[in-house]
Structure 1
Amino acid sequence: MTSRKIKSQPFGHFPTSNMDPCKRLSPGTFTRLGVHLPALLLGLGAHAVQAQDANAASTVSVAGDASPQGQTVPVDNHAKDSPVTLKGVDVVASPSGAGMAAIQLVGPNEYVLNRSDLDGALSGNNALALLKNVPGASYTATDSLGLDISATSLFVRGFRMNEMGVVFEGVPLNDNGFLSMTGTSAVNVGVPDAIGSIDITPGTARESVFSSSANGGGLVYSLANLKDTPSAEISQTYGSNKTLVTTFSGQTGKLGANGPEVLVDLQYISANKYQTGGTQDFLRGDLKAKQDVSWGDFTLFVSASHAAVWGYNNLSFDMIRKLGWNADIWYPDYARAYQMALPENANASCGAYTCGQLSALIPYDTGQTTNDSIETIAHHFRLSSSLTGSVQLYGAQSKTSASLADPTTPSPSGAPFSEQVQRPRVNRLGGTLNFTYNVGDHVISAGLWKENTRSAATTSWYDEPLLGEGEPLKTTGPYDVYGPAFQTANASNWRIRSQQFYLHDDYAITDKLTLGVGFKGVDFSTTGGGIGPDQAPFGTLRVKNNFLPHVSLFWSPSTQTDVFVDIAETENGYRVAQRGNIGYTASAWTVSNQEEFDRVAQSIRPEKDWNLTAGATHRFDNLTLTYDAFYSVIRDRLLSAAVGSQFAQINTVGLMPRMHIFGADLGLTADLSNHIQFYQGLAVARSFYDNNFVVDDTIFPIKGKAQPGYPIVSVVSDLSAKFQSWRFGATSTEYLRQPFSYENDIYVPNFWQINTYASYTLKSRGAMPEWSFRLDVSNLFDRKNIGTSTIAGSPFSGDYQTLQRSAPRQLMFTVSAKY
Structure 2
Amino acid sequence: MDFQKNLVRSTLLATVSILVPYHAFAAPSAPIDHATHSPQADTRHVAQARKSALARTRPETISVFGHGSTRQMTSVTRSMMEQSVPGTSPMKVLNQLPGIVYQSADPFGAYEYSSSLYMRGFSQNQIGFTLDDIPLGDQQFNNYNGLSITRAITTDNVGGADVSQGAGAVDVASNSNLGGAIQFHSLDPSHERGGTVEQTFGSNQTFRTFARINSGDLNRSGTRFYASYARTDMNLWKGGGYDYSDQVNAKIVQPLPHDSSLKAFFDWSSTQQFDYQDMTQNYLNTIGPKLANYYPNYTAAYQAAQGIYPAQYLKSNDPYDAGYYAGTANRVDYFGGITLDENLTSHLNWKTTVYGHGDSGYSTWTTPYMPSPNGAPLSQRVQDPGIQRGGFVTAVTYGIARHKINAGVWYEYGRFTEGRSFAEAPLLGQGTLGNPTDGYPSNVFATPWQEIFHSNTFTFHLQDTFQVMKNLKINAGFKSMIVSAGNTVPTQNVAANGGLIAQGNLTASDAFLPQVSAAWRFLPHHELFFDVSKNMRTYPEDGFSTNVSATPWTETQNAFQSTKNNLRPEKDWVYELGYRYNTPVLSGLVSLYRVNFSNRLQLITSGHGINAQTAISNVGGVTTNGAEASLTVRPVNGLSIYNSFSYAHSTYDQNVLTSSGLEPTRGKLVPNYPTFMYKGSISYTWHRFKANLDGNYISSRQLTYTNDAHVPGYFLANFGMHYNFGDYKILKGINASFNVYNLFNKTYVSTTNELGNTFTAGYNYFLMGAPRQFFGTISTNF
1:39–1:732 Cα contact (<8 Å) kept? no
Q: What is the aligned partner in structure 1 of residue 534 from structure 2?
A: 569
Paired residue secondary structure (2:320): helix
Q: 1:161 aligned to 2:124?
A: yes
Q: What is the aligned partner in structure 2 of residue 139 from structure 1?
A: 102
Matches of 1:80 and 1:703 in 2, distance apart?
Answer: 41
Give the letter aligned to residue 263 of structure 2.
Answer: T
Query: Residues 384-425 of structure 1, C-alpha deviation per residue, up to 9 Å, x if partnerless?
Result: 111110222211112242221100001122211111111111
The gaps in structure 1 that reach 5 residues or longer are 1-33, 50-73, 88-97
Query: Residues 98-157 of structure 1, C-alpha deviation per residue, up to 9 Å, x if partnerless?
Result: 995232314122233232332323201113113123331111100111121000111111
Q: What is the aligned partner in structure 2 of residue 676 from structure 1?
A: 639
Which residue among 456, 465, 469 is the counterpart of 1:497? 456
Which residue among 443, 462, 481 is the counterpart of 1:522? 481
Give percent identity, aligned residues only.
23
Q: What is the aligned partner in structure 1 of residue 187 from structure 2?
A: 224
Say which is worse superposed, 266-275 or 761-770, in terms of deviation.
761-770
2:18–2:64 Cα contact (<8 Å) kept? no
Paired residue secondary structure (2:504): strand
Deviation at 1:37, TM superposition (A): 11
Count of aligned pairs between the two proteins: 738
Q: What is the aligned partner in structure 2 of residue 815 from structure 1?
A: 778
Give the letter aligned to residue 454 of structure 2.
Answer: R
> What is the aligned-residue RMSD (CA, Å)?
2.5
Deviation at 1:473, TM superposition (A): 4.1
Q: What is the aligned partner in structure 1 of residue 711 from structure 2?
A: 748
Q: 1:275 aligned to 2:234?
A: no
Deviation at 1:621, TM superposition (A): 5.6
Q: What is the aligned partner in structure 2 of residue 310 from structure 1?
A: 274
Matches of 1:200 and 1:79 in 2, distance apart?
Answer: 17
Q: 1:247 aligned to 2:210?
A: yes
Say which is worse superposed, 309-318 or 384-393, in terms of deviation.
384-393
Which residue among 641, 645, 649 is the counterpart of 1:686? 649
Deviation at 1:297, TM superposition (A): 2.6
Q: What is the aligned partner in structure 1 of residue 740 from structure 2?
A: 777
Matches of 1:355 and 1:318 in 2, distance apart?
Answer: 6
Q: What is the aligned partner in structure 2 of residue 474 from structure 1?
A: 435
Query: Residues 742-781 of structure 1, C-alpha deviation per residue, up to 9 Å, x if partnerless?
Result: 1111111112111111211122255332011111011111
Q: 1:336 aligned to 2:300?
A: yes
Deviation at 1:454, TM superposition (A): 0.9
Give the letter aligned to residue 280 of structure 2.
Answer: S
CA change 1:479–1:466 in 2 (3 A) is farther
CA change 1:694–1:724 in 2 (3 A) is same
Q: 1:321 aligned to 2:288?
A: no
Matches of 1:761 and 1:39 in 2, distance apart?
Answer: 33
Matches of 2:645 and 2:565 in 1, distance apart?
Answer: 43
Q: 1:589 aligned to 2:550?
A: no
2:739–2:775 Cα contact (<8 Å) kept? yes
Matches of 2:242 and 2:281 in 1, distance apart?
Answer: 26
1:103–1:133 Cα contact (<8 Å) kept? no
Q: What is the aligned partner in structure 1 of residue 62 from structure 2?
A: 101
Q: What is the aligned partner in structure 2 of residue 66 from structure 1?
A: none
Which residue among 149, 154, 166 is the counterpart of 1:203? 166
1:431–1:449 Cα contact (<8 Å) kept? yes
Deviation at 1:351, TM superposition (A): 4.2
Matches of 1:134 and 1:335 in 2, distance apart?
Answer: 46
Q: What is the aligned partner in structure 1 of residue 341 from structure 2?
A: 380
Query: Residues 349-379 of structure 1, C-alpha deviation per residue, up to 9 Å, x if partnerless?
Result: 8445389942322111112111122122222
Paired residue secondary structure (1:758): strand
Give the letter aligned to residue 321 of structure 1.
Answer: N
Q: What is the aligned partner in structure 1 of residue 26 from structure 2?
A: none
1:205–1:217 Cα contact (<8 Å) kept? yes
Query: Residues 715-745 of structure 1, C-alpha deviation per residue, up to 9 Å, x if partnerless?
Result: 1222222222211121111110211111111
CA change 1:327–1:547 in 2 (3 A) is same
Deviation at 1:79, TM superposition (A): 4.2
Give the letter aligned to residue 303 of structure 2.
Answer: Q
Q: What is the aligned partner in structure 2 of residue 540 from structure 1?
A: 505
Matches of 2:488 and 2:528 in 1, distance apart?
Answer: 48
Deviation at 1:646, TM superposition (A): 3.4
CA change 1:352–1:465 in 2 (3 A) is closer
Q: What is the aligned partner in structure 2 of residue 510 from structure 1?
A: 469
Query: Residues 323-362 of structure 1, C-alpha deviation per residue, up to 9 Å, x if partnerless?
Result: 01111101111111111212xx37x884453899423221
Q: What is the aligned partner in structure 1 of residue 662 from structure 2?
A: 699
Q: 1:77 aligned to 2:16?
A: yes
Matches of 1:456 and 1:578 in 2, distance apart?
Answer: 8
1:103–1:134 Cα contact (<8 Å) kept? no
Which residue among 348, 363, 368 is the counterpart of 1:402? 363
2:22–2:525 Cα contact (<8 Å) kept? no
Give the letter aligned to residue 641 of structure 2.
Answer: F
Matches of 1:645 and 1:625 in 2, distance apart?
Answer: 47
Deviation at 1:651, TM superposition (A): 1.5
1:176–1:183 Cα contact (<8 Å) kept? yes
1:341–1:355 Cα contact (<8 Å) kept? no
Say which is worse superposed, 675-684 or 281-290, in terms of deviation.
675-684
2:20–2:65 Cα contact (<8 Å) kept? no
CA change 1:221–1:336 in 2 (3 A) is same
The gaps in structure 2 that reach 5 residues or longer are 24-45, 47-58, 495-499
Q: What is the aligned partner in structure 2 of residue 368 from structure 1?
A: 329
Matches of 1:309 and 1:369 in 2, distance apart?
Answer: 7
Higher helix share: 2
Greater RCO (CA < 8 Å, at least 6 residues apart): 1
Deviation at 1:630, TM superposition (A): 1.1
Q: 1:531 aligned to 2:490?
A: yes
Matches of 1:541 and 1:48 in 2, distance apart?
Answer: 49
Give the letter aligned to residue 171 of structure 1.
Answer: I
Matches of 1:240 and 1:352 in 2, distance apart?
Answer: 27
CA change 1:162–1:724 in 2 (3 A) is same
Paired residue secondary structure (1:570): strand
Give the letter aligned to residue 635 of structure 1.
Answer: S
Matches of 1:426 and 1:47 in 2, distance apart?
Answer: 45
Query: Residues 487-535 of structure 1, C-alpha deviation per residue, up to 9 Å, x if partnerless?
Result: 1123111110100010010000011110000000000001115332333
Deviation at 1:664, TM superposition (A): 0.5
Give TM-score scaled by structure 1 length: 0.86
CA change 1:225–1:664 in 2 (3 A) is same
CA change 1:783–1:38 in 2 (3 A) is same
Give the letter aligned to residue 317 of structure 1.
Answer: Q
Say which is worse superposed, 434-443 or 219-228, in terms of deviation.
219-228
Q: What is the aligned partner in structure 1 of residue 572 from structure 2?
A: 609
CA change 1:48–1:268 in 2 (3 A) is closer
Say which is worse superposed, 624-633 or 107-116, in terms of deviation.
107-116
Q: What is the aligned partner in structure 1 of residue 525 from structure 2?
A: 560
CA change 1:529–1:474 in 2 (3 A) is farther
Give TM-score scaled by structure 2 length: 0.90
Query: Residues 217-256 of structure 1, C-alpha deviation per residue, up to 9 Å, x if partnerless?
Result: 1111111133322231111111101001111233212212
Give the letter aligned to residue 151 of structure 2.
Answer: N
Give the letter aligned to residue 569 of structure 1.
Answer: K
CA change 1:529–1:146 in 2 (3 A) is farther
